[in-house]
Amino acid sequence: MVSFQARLKLVSVFSAALLVSGLIFNHVVLADDTNVTWAQLNDGQRQILNPLASEWDTLRPWQREKMLDIARDYPKMSPSKQDLVRKRLTNWSRMTPYERENARKSHQQFQSLPTDKKNELRQKWLEYQKLPESERARLRADSPDTYKDADLN
Report yes or no on 151 lying in a domain: no
- Domain housing 9: 4-114
Is 140 inside a domain boundary?
Answer: no
Three-state DSSP state, 37: coil
Q: Does 127 map to a domain?
A: no
What is the domain count for the chain?
Answer: 1
pLDDT at 74: 95
Say which residues have a Cβ less than 8 Å from residue 121's Cβ, sequence separation at least 6.
Answer: 110, 113
Q: Nearest-CA neighbor of 57 among 34, 28, 73, 74?
A: 34
Q: Is residue 149 part of a domain?
A: no
Q: What is the pLDDT of residue 147?
A: 66
> Is residue 73 assigned to a domain?
yes
User: What local confidence, expressed as pLDDT, does residue 9 receive?
Assistant: 46
Structure confidence at residue 149 (pLDDT)? 58
Q: What is the mean pLDDT of each run of 10 residues along the chain (153 residues)?
A: 45 42 36 76 94 92 92 95 94 91 91 93 90 89 72 46
What does the pLDDT look like over 32-54, one tens digit per residue? 566 889 999 999 999 999 999 99
The Cα–Cα gap between 70 and 84 comes to: 12
Q: Does residue 133 fall inside a structural domain?
A: no
pLDDT at 33 (0 to 100): 61
